[in-house]
Amino acid sequence: MRQILWGMLKKMVIADNCATYVNQVFDTYQTQSGSTLLLGAIFFSFQMYADFSGYSDMAIGVSKLLGFRITKNFDYPFFAQNIAEYWRKWHISLTSWLTDYVFMPLNVKWRDWGKWGMILAIIVNFVICGLWHGANWTFIVWGFYHGLLFVPLILSGAMFKKNKLNTYKWGFPKLKVLFNILLTFSLITLGNIIFRANNLGEAFEYLKGMANMRLFSFSILTNGLALLLISIPLFLVVEWLQKNKEHGLTKMPSNLVLRWLIYVLICVIIYRFGVFNYSQFIYFQF
């Protein structure tokens, strides 16, 4: 029940409020400031994650109630320190399938080409991953883009290296870790603009508009924006504290009263700030 509740919070409060803002930005991107476009792209990354991982949490929670154990599909991917680690943590079921049935056979076939054979295999793997999402050039280019991000890791031999989330004694990530996380998130967010756009022309126009940066010049100011600017950092703090657990509500206070106060507070937040009109899960279209 805790995992279902956490999934509902992610979907109804984070993802669906992000969707409201993101749709406004992408529908009117030609008239928006660079700062607004940047914020819209960031919110879309959070929308995708909270929507799909929220759905996965709810599905896993319901399955547990029925006595079934479903494989974990997300492992806090926004704390990844490079693109390879990100894909080991994002949509794990799809990534595992592609690794076993696309990347590994191609890597073995082209092993005589050394690292360049591995690079070709990973690019083909992600182009196919893009096509899995739909027969659109945006998905193909998005897959190709992700494949290219692996090239520095393969050439440096760091593709399979596991990075530790080193922290200071009070729990904050060390500067190098924080830099790697922010860099990885930035690269993912740039790719997500291509994923979200209706066509390549729109994607490139959006990216071009972001270059016209006027800092803190936001064209779309709504109550939903204030909610997201508060809720997303709090959401990330909870996930960071639970990063070694199964989901955001795995470890709860032992005090019964405090624990139930948290449950009630989450229910109130969902009721007060959740989006209750019909909102389809993003990945239902794929």
Active-site amino acid positions? 133
Is there a contact between 78 and 49 (Cβ–Cβ < 8 Å)? yes
DSSP state of 135: S
Cα angle value 142/282/31 (rounded, 5°)? 65
Q: Which ranges of 9-158 does DSSP label H, i.e. alpha helix?
A: 16-27, 34-65, 83-89, 92-98, 104-109, 115-133, 137-149, 151-156
Contacts of 205 (CB under 8 A, 6+ apart): 29, 30
User: What letter represents residue 236's amino acid?
Assistant: L
Q: Which residues pair with 173 in a beta bridge?
A: 167
How far is CA 251 from each of CA 2, 49, 192, 220, 248, rounded to the nearest angstrom? 10, 21, 32, 37, 8
- 3-class secondary structure, 58: helix
Q: Could you identify the residue written with the tokens 């991917």? A: 77
Contacts by residues 111-116 (CB-CB < 8 Å, ≥ 24 positions apart): 115/154, 115/155
- 3-class secondary structure, 212: coil
End-to-end CA distance of the chain, in Å?
A: 27
